[in-house]
Amino acid sequence: MADPVSWLLIESGWRVAGADGSDLGKVHEVVGDKSSDIFSGLAVSPGLLRGSRFVPSERVARITEGRVELDLTEAAFERLDEQTDAPTSAEIRPDTTDIQPER
């Protein structure tokens, strides 16, 4: 069995396996903040013409070179929500309220 590696090494295209040994798909995107070492999860693509599913980091059981194993069965993985695009950021404008000078 291969030695575990850090989430920082996960790359797009790595295989993702379920707790029952099923092939769930490939890593589409790693979600996290590398500078703060915060791993949020993975977007996993189960195949062509199927939307990626977001897997929270707490569902990742083991990471080895080229492979991520989840603590989910294939049936549980299929129930996960499809990954959607991140919401657009709000436009921040300068404060336009009138400030009355003190008298």
Ranges of each domain in the chain: 7-78
Q: What does each C-alpha distance from 92 to 10, 33, 85 come to in angstroms? A: 34, 23, 21
Residue 56 and residue 5: Cα distance in Å, rounded? Answer: 18
- Enter the pTM of the model: 0.75
For residue 69, pLDDT beyond 90: yes
User: CATH class for domain 7-78?
Assistant: alpha beta
Write out the H or E segment, with its range, that includes residue 78. Answer: helix 74-78
Q: Which of 50 and 4 is assigned the larger pLDDT?
A: 4
CB-CB contact of 26 with 15 (8 Å): yes
